[in-house]
Amino acid sequence: MKTSFRSASELDAGKISILVNRAYRPSAHERGWTHEANLVSGQRTTEEQVLSLFCSRSSVLVLIQDTNIVACVHVQCEEYSAVIGMLATDPGCQMQGFGKQILNYAEQFAFEHFATTTFKISVLSPRTELIAFYERRGYARTGEMVGYPVSAGIGEPIVHGLQVEILTKQMEKPSS
């Protein structure tokens, strides 16, 4: 089946929020290989929160298979780095390489549009399988921990003292 990447538009926000919630906080019958339903309850995002990401130095990218959005990611440019977040693959489409492909696309996008080669990702610290996934993509643990952002409206921790670890990657500049 044919796949392609593109920047999302505000018209995609509803579908993206459904995809993100299904991937991050899946119900018991549709869980992918890694998720956070056992760590955080409630919705990961809403259509309104996705719409708020369509702003300056912030882009939402999607991977399309045929006509369906099967993966997404958010790239936010900060002063010295790009923050990559909301990486999600539809649970029914996981383990086909889409997560790796859209993460790589996000890094290239950040380099081309924001001229940065430094990337940051926040991961719930108990998710060792996901941290290993990012380490295989060149990210390094920093040991920098922050508490789960309970007031951000992105769900309630189920486990006590849940922490988020910051991972970083320094990409080599493509030779010109």
Ligand X SMILES: CC(C)(COP(=O)(O)OP(=O)(O)OC[C@H]1O[C@@H](n2cnc3c(N)ncnc32)[C@H](O)[C@@H]1OP(=O)(O)O)[C@@H](O)C(=O)NCCC(=O)NCCS
Backbone angles phi, psi at 26, to 5 degrees: -70, 155
Contact of 123 with 167, CB cutoff 8 Å? yes
CB of 108 to ligand X, least distance (A): 16
The number of C-alpha atoms within 13 Å of 167 and in the hemisphere containing its C-beta is 22
| Cα angle 160-141-61, degrees, rounded to a multiple of 5 | 90
CB of 34 to ligand X, least distance (A): 5
Structure tokens at 153: 């409206």
Strands 163-170 and 118-124, how do they pair?
Answer: antiparallel
CB of 160 to ligand X, least distance (A): 21
Alpha helix positions (H), 33-97: 47-51
For residue 172, the SS3 value is coil
Sequence-ordered strand ranges (E) for the chain = 3-7, 40-41, 58-65, 68-77, 82-89, 118-124, 140-147, 156-157, 163-170
CB of 176 to ligand X, least distance (A): 28
Q: Footprint of ligand X on this chain (CB under 6 A)?
A: 23-24, 32-36, 87-89, 94-100, 121, 123, 129-130, 133, 136
Tell me the residue nearest to ligand X as measured from the CB. 99
